[in-house]
Amino acid sequence: MDQAHLLQLAILFVAAAWAGAQNQLAGGGSFITLPALILTGMDARAANITSTVALFPGQVTGGWIGRKLASGTESLSFKALTVISLIGGAIGAVLLLWTPSGVFAQMVPWLVLFATVAYAWGSFGRKPQAGEEGKPLSAVVAGTVQMGIAIYGGYFGGGIGFLMLAALALSRVPVRAAGATKNVLAGAMNFTAVLIFLFSGQVRWLACAVACAGALVGSVFGARLLSRVDEKMLRLVVIVIGVLLTIGLFLRA
Q: In this predicted structure, what is the pLDDT of residue 126?
A: 52
Q: In this predicted structure, what is the pLDDT of residue 22?
A: 76
DSSP notation for 165-202: HHHHHHTT--HHHHHHHHHHHHHHHHHHHHHHHTTTT-
Q: With beta carbons less than 8 A apart as the criterion, state whether 204 and 50 touch.
A: yes
Q: What is the pLDDT of residues 140-158, one digit of tens each?
A: 888 898 999 999 989 987 7
> Any idea what DSSP says for residue 40?
T
Q: In this predicted structure, what is the pLDDT of residue 130?
A: 37
Q: Is the pLDDT of residue 215 over 60?
A: yes
Q: In this predicted structure, what is the pLDDT of residue 136?
A: 60
For residue 204, what pLDDT band results from cuts at 50, 70 and 90? very high
Domain layout of the chain by residue ranges: 3-252
Q: Is the pLDDT of residue 187 over 60?
A: yes
For residue 227, the Cα-to-chain-centroid distance in whole angstroms is: 19
Dihedral-angle region of residue 71 (phi above 0 means left; psi in -120 to 50 means alpha; beta otherwise): beta
Q: Is the pLDDT of residue 220 over 60?
A: yes
Nearest to 195 by CA among 164, 154, 161: 154
Q: What is the pLDDT of residues 237-251, one digit of tens each?
A: 777 877 887 887 788
Q: With beta carbons less than 8 A apart as the criterion, state whether 124 and 184 touch.
A: no
Q: In this predicted structure, what is the pLDDT of residue 160?
A: 77
Per-residue pLDDT averaged across 82-106, rounded? Answer: 93
Q: In this predicted structure, what is the pLDDT of residue 134?
A: 53
| CA gap 153, 60 in Å, rounded | 15
| Residue with more model confidence, 42 or 28 | 42
Of 14-18, 73-77, 99-103, 149-153, least confident by mean pLDDT is 73-77
> Any idea what DSSP says for residue 28?
-
Give the DSSP H/E element, type plus range, for residue 77: none
Per-residue pLDDT averaged across 110-134, rounded? Answer: 65
| CA gap 250, 83 in Å, rounded | 35
Give the DSSP H/E element, type plus range, for residue 49: helix 44-65
When the pLDDT of each residue in the chain is averaged and rounded to a whole number, the result is 81
Which residues have C-beta within 8 Å of that of residue 22, sequence separation ≥ 6?
A: 28, 29, 32, 218, 222, 238
Nearest to 38 by CA among 186, 173, 239, 207: 207
| Residue with more model confidence, 103 or 251 | 103
Q: In this predicted structure, what is the pLDDT of residue 142?
A: 83
Per-residue pLDDT averaged across 2-20, rounded? Answer: 86
Per-residue pLDDT averaged across 179-199, rounded? Answer: 89
> Any idea what DSSP says for residue 2?
-
- Among 41-45, 125-129, 244-248, top mean pLDDT goes to 41-45
pTM of structure: 0.80
Dihedral-angle region of residue 194 (phi above 0 means left; psi in -120 to 50 means alpha; beta otherwise): alpha
CA distances, 89 to each of 104, 194, 230 (Å): 17, 9, 31
Q: In this predicted structure, what is the pLDDT of residue 183?
A: 79
Q: In this predicted structure, what is the pLDDT of residue 85?
A: 94
Nearest to 186 by CA among 161, 162, 223: 161
